[in-house]
Amino acid sequence: MVFYSPSRGQLTFEAMFNDIVQYMKSAPGANYKLIIGTDSQNRDYATFVTAVVVHRIGKGGRYYYTKQRDPKITSLRQRIFYEASLSLSVASRIAEQLSKDGYSKMNVEIHLDVGQNGETKEMVREIIGMILGSGFDAKIKPNSYGASKVADKHTK
């Protein structure tokens, strides 16, 4: 899996993770939030972008993203669940690596591109249940900027 960083360029998963750790080590007294969010766009094909954001609370942050193309998914429900599963996959890898490197208390949030308004409101409970059941915190619109802003920016 290849990740891209606006400031670091193309990175492997391991290089991205090491960059996150170095960023946190550069200001050890700061509070951090690790956010994973996925968004997609349907055209002749579906483009899925999963963003990894390390937010230094009150002091900015960094982000990385990975992009993939799949055949067009016409079912909104299927596409939203696939977005959530992509986020869960990346979050699980990161959480596993955090545990190995002594950062097991680091909170990982998954930002979902669903909200109480619009077409996705019927799916909110199910999607949140899927994320919480996997051991991660879940955020929905308007608080899910990892998906609705960062990942969305790179789906176009």
For residue 101, give both structure tokens. 């490197």
| Cα distance between residue 53 and residue 55, in whole Å | 6
pLDDT tens profile 52-77: 999 999 999 999 999 999 999 999 99
Structure confidence at residue 105 as a pLDDT band (50, 70, 90): confident
Give the pLDDT of residue 151. Answer: 97
**How far apart, in Å, are the Cα atoms of 19 and each of 14, 64, 97?**
9, 10, 13
Domain boundaries, the chain: 2-153
| Cα distance between residue 46 and residue 38, in whole Å | 12
Reply yes or no on whether the pLDDT at 84 is more than 90: yes
For residue 42, give both structure tokens. 């349907």
SS3 (DSSP) at 27: coil
Query: Average pLDDT for residues 127-155, to the nearest whole number?
Result: 96
| Cα distance between residue 124 and residue 60, in whole Å | 29
